[in-house]
């Protein structure tokens, strides 16, 4: 017996319709589940972590908010406004399906992408609007500064397909490049995420230089930034210990980093959750923004009216001894002088050691740096030929064998 072509077509249409309905139901269930798991009720948890006391050192992205004078309440209010002015990017639900997938949310897998977006948003804000800019919520006061508005920066990270630094754009880059080998729904490390961001065509006015091997090379920064004519975001990826949290010997390194004037924060983790750290408090805690709150996707045209959703008023912090050892430090550089003053600061707080390859006498005293700043990339040498008898005897005394 032969089935008619019209019957086959009808069966095919019914199957496609059933598949579409099933997919829509799955997306609805996922969005409801994510709204519950990552809903705004989670913000109540932060009420316990946003308590501050007077006369405690407080830094936010290079700005001090510490005084023992009678105006400490006014100064603390300035801190609250500074924190609130940082752009807060979180999980989204009810997105249009992401590229080459049926997923309509980044809940559960996109937190590092969001923290990297926040660091980039702070970098652009610092370059285009200035570090002293504050979000007032008043449209007239936030229209244009140096030809750019706050809303334009936020819109770059929006939920629409055309947003140049948004999730759709990053996933399109990931799916279209064999070098990334990452699909929608995969977890991204900070180095993976910034590799995607670096390929966004919009970033013609900013360069990103990542330190993945412990060596910051001035000549490479110089070349990438067109002889420091283009602002550059330097990101140093570090592993501060091998336990589940940052080794105690590095705690003050992280605390002091937030006193660096051109710091744009640290991307770090807590219980496998990526957070964006933007300040320090009382020499024992870090202040952060958390992307693990789900908001519904927002059309681009609604951003000017709903811009408060991109700012957080929970002022959260956690003890530095709770942070996982893998972290990424960011600072923005505007000129060669700015770069060298940044390196000098990092040397002073024992973050780095300077080694000038061309002039070997320019070496800092810090013998245990977290990374090394070179003038140009050193040539690889034969490690075996450089091992001295002193090194061999020292290793033997410690119970090791040099190989």
pLDDT of residue 272: 83
Instruction: Give the largest CA-CA distance in the chain.
Output: 95
DSSP class of 148:
B
pLDDT of residue 183: 75
Contacts 24+ apart (CB under 8 A), 48-53: 49/316, 49/317, 49/318, 50/314, 50/315, 50/316, 50/317, 52/76, 52/281, 52/315, 53/282
Reading the block at residue 82, the tokens are: 């500074």
Reading the block at residue 134, the tokens are: 């504050």
Instruction: Count Cβ atoms below 10 Å from residue 306 Cβ, excluding itself.
Output: 12
CB distance 272 to 323 below 8 Å: no
pLDDT of residue 359: 46
Which DSSP string do the residues of 88-146 spell out, in sequence order?
A: ---EEESPPPPTTS-----TTT-HHHHHHHHHHHHHHHHHHT-TT----S-GGGGS-BT
Phi-psi region of 44 (alpha: psi -120 to 50; beta: other; left: phi over 0): alpha
Contact residues for 321 (Cβ-Cβ < 8 A; gap 6+): 245, 246, 248, 251, 284
DSSP class of 150:
H
Q: What is the dihedral of CA 87, 92, 94, 97, to 10 degrees?
A: 110
pLDDT of residue 148: 83
Sheet with 371-374, side-by-side order of all strands:
215-217, 371-374, 352-355
Q: Which stretches of the chain drop beneath a pLDDT of 70?
A: 1-49, 67-71, 138-144, 177-182, 356-368, 380-403
| Burial category of 341 from C-beta neighbours within 10 Å (exposed 0-12, middle 13-18, buried 19 and up) | middle
- Give the predicted TM-score (pTM) of the model: 0.83
Considering only CA atoms, which of 235, 271, 245 is closest in space to residue 325? Answer: 245
Q: Residue 388 and residue 237: Cα distance in Å, rounded?
A: 31
pLDDT of residue 360: 47
Dihedral of alpha carbons 388, 389, 392, 398, sign: negative
381 to 119, 159, 214, 403: CA distances (angstroms): 36, 49, 17, 15
Considering only CA atoms, which of 373, 366, 362, 372 is closest in space to residue 339? Answer: 373
Reading the block at residue 317, the tokens are: 């912090």
Q: Residue 216 and residue 331: Cα distance in Å, rounded?
A: 13
Paired strand residues for 207: 232
CB distance 280 to 58 below 8 Å: yes
Contacts 24+ apart (CB under 8 A), 348-351: 349/253, 349/256, 349/257, 349/259, 349/260, 350/253, 351/253, 351/257
DSSP class of 377:
P
Q: Residue 403 and residue 401: Cα distance in Å, rounded?
A: 6
DSSP H or E stretch at residue 193: helix 190-198
């Amino acid at each position: 017996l032969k089935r008619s072509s019209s019957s086959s077509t009808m069966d095919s249409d019914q199957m496609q319709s059933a598949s579409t309905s099933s997919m829509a139901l799955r997306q609805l269930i996922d969005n409801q589940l994510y709204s519950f798991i990552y809903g705004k009720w989670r913000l109540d948890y932060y009420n316990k972590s946003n308590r501050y006391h007077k006369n405690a050192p407080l830094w936010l992205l290079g700005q001090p908010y510490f005084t023992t004078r009678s105006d400490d309440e006014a100064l603390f209010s300035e801190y609250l406004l500074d924190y609130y002015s940082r752009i807060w990017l979180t999980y989204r639900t009810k997105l249009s399906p992401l590229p080459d997938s049926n997923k309509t949310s980044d809940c559960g897998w996109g937190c590092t992408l969001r923290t990297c977006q926040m660091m980039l948003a702070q970098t652009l804000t610092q370059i285009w609007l200035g570090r002293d800019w504050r979000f007032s919520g008043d449209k007239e006061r936030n229209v244009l500064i140096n030809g750019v508005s706050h809303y334009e920066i936020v819109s770059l990270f929006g939920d629409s397909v055309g947003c140049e630094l948004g999730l759709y754009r990053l996933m399109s880059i990931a799916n279209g490049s064999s070098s990334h080998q990452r699909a929608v729904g995969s977890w991204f490390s900070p180095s993976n995420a910034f590799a995607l961001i670096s390929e966004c065509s919009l970033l013609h006015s900013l360069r990103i230089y990542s330190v993945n091997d412990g060596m910051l090379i001035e000549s490479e920064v110089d070349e990438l930034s067109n002889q420091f004519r283009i602002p550059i975001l330097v990101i140093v990826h570090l592993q501060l210990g091998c336990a589940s949290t940052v080794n105690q010997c590095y705690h003050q390194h992280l605390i002091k980093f937030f006193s660096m004037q051109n710091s744009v924060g640290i991307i770090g983790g807590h219980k496998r959750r990526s957070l964006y750290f933007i300040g320090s408090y009382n020499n024992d805690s870090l202040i952060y923004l958390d992307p693990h709150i789900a908001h519904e996707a927002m059309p681009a045209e609604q951003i000017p009216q709903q811009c408060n959703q991109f700012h957080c008023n929970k002022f959260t912090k956690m003890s530095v001894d709770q942070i996982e050892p893998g972290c990424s430090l960011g600072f923005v550089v505007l000129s060669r002088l700015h770069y060298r003053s940044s390196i000098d600061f990092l040397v002073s707080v024992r973050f780095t050691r300077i080694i000038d390859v061309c002039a070997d006498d320019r070496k800092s005293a810090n013998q245990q740096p977290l990374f090394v700043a070179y003038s140009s990339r050193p040539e690889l040498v034969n490690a075996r030929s450089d091992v001295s008898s002193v090194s061999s005897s020292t290793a033997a005394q410690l119970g090791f064998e040099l190989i």
